[in-house]
Amino acid sequence: MLTFAYQARDASGKTVSGVQEALNEDNAINTLMSRGLMVLSLQQKAGGKAGAPRGKITETDLVLFTRQLATMVDAGLPLVAGLTALYEQADPKRQAGLRRIIGEVSALVQQGDSFFEAISKHPSVFNRLYVSMVKAGESGGLLAEILDRLATFLESAARLKKKVKSAMTYPVIVLCIALCITTFLIVKVVPVFGEIFADFGANLPAPTQFLLDLSSFIRGNWYWIAGGIGGAIFGVRAFLKTERGRQLWDTYKLKLPVFGPLVHKICMTRFARTFAQLIRAGVPILEVMSIVGDTSGNYVVEESIKKVSADIERGDHLASSLAREKIFPPMLVRMVGAGEQTGKIDAMLEKMADFWDEEIEAILNALTSLIEPLLIVVLGVIVGGIVIAMFLPIFKLNDVVSSAKG
């Protein structure tokens, strides 16, 4: 975008000046006129085009933008005026990225593009689900309602993600603390005991000797160990980004003893809620299946959805197609079948998503309650084991001294 310095007269006749970002001069004039200003002069500022959007656009920002725009459109405010208002109220520092995106979208709409065409030029912010629902809303004259549903959907998705992250935060923190404490004991504390035990001149108990050897190895080869760990992490992450790696990891996640059912339910609730929103918005069924597959977040689920989509394209019913894939629970299949008979698939899927959300929350609460004492026990065993191994020669001091004298 370009930056223009302007002078204009407002509705009261007062002369005002400022800067306006726009795609070109005509776009800048149209934007200023939409704000009720009569342009007196306009000059492009030196520096050429503005850089790429700065700052991360958070889920909260996107939800707030969608909700506020829905309210404005529902109140009868023109789309461009709503976008202009949101652009002006966005914080130039904290929401620089969002502000620039809104400005570009507003400029494209003023030039004659439809709203969905404008936002589709920013796929990193507005995904296919968002664009498709907006397109359906514009086509059916229900943009405000669709935007309100989108905001609710995004809030539900963000809430689920937050629950999972918060449940995993505590175990990760405890594991990091355990690793730091263990490393400190082995690198700093164990060698001090090693110097003391060296004066005994006797054979040490096996656990103590093992810790001393481990400490010596880590201190002497820490750079190789750090490099190996870093290389392993980089290699695993690179492999997981490949098609084969993603396939293996997603398949393995679903088979994990405790976390597998949780991952499966998360995928299913995402499938059900996304499907319900798209169907309710009037998006064609085949396009719905394509979008749901892309947003499923799991390779196994995505492949199953592709097979279901192919069956539907051949003329099969949705419920019978879902029943052929083992990844979809029987309850989901029955609810979809009932929805097809009553014409309320979206309502049935929404109920299933709400039901799974409650189950996910219950599982996360149970896991958190179970993991906390387990991690405390693990931390106690590690630290306690090191302490006992170090004090073991002292407990057997008589045997050690006798062995030395002998």
User: Could you tell me the residue range of the domain that residue 9 belongs to?
Assistant: 2-45
Q: Which residue, among 36, 22, 44, 2, has the nearest Cα to 108 in the 3D structure? A: 22
* Same domain (yes/no): 14, 87: no
Query: How many distinct structural domains can be found in the chain?
Result: 3
* Same domain (yes/no): 30, 66: no
* Same domain (yes/no): 335, 287: yes
CB atoms < 10 A from the CB of 270, how many? 22
* Same domain (yes/no): 312, 334: yes
* Same domain (yes/no): 37, 66: no
Residue 87 lies in a domain: yes
In terms of C-beta density within 10 A (0-12 exposed, 13-18 middle, 19 or more buried), how is residue 380 classed? exposed
- 70-128 pLDDT, tens digit each: 898 888 888 888 888 888 788 877 887 888 888 888 888 887 888 888 888 888 888 88
* Same domain (yes/no): 271, 354: yes
Last residue of a domain, which of 134, 157, 180?
157
- Give me the CATH number covering residue 316: 1.20.81.30
DSSP characters over 182-242: HHHIIIIIHHHHHHHHHTT-SPPPHHHHHHHHHHHHHHHSHHHHHHHHHHHHHHHHHHHTS
Stronger pLDDT, 78 or 393, i.e. the higher one: 78
Note whether 357 and 334 are within 8 A (CB).
Answer: no
Residue 170 lies in a domain: no
pTM of the shown model: 0.69
Residue 120 lies in a domain: yes
- 190-229 pLDDT, tens digit each: 888 888 777 766 677 888 888 888 888 888 888 898 899 9
- 118-170 pLDDT, tens digit each: 888 888 888 888 888 888 888 777 888 888 888 888 888 888 888 888 878 88
For residue 54, the model assigns a pLDDT of: 53
* Same domain (yes/no): 263, 353: yes
* Same domain (yes/no): 265, 336: yes
CB atoms < 10 A from the CB of 368, how many? 15
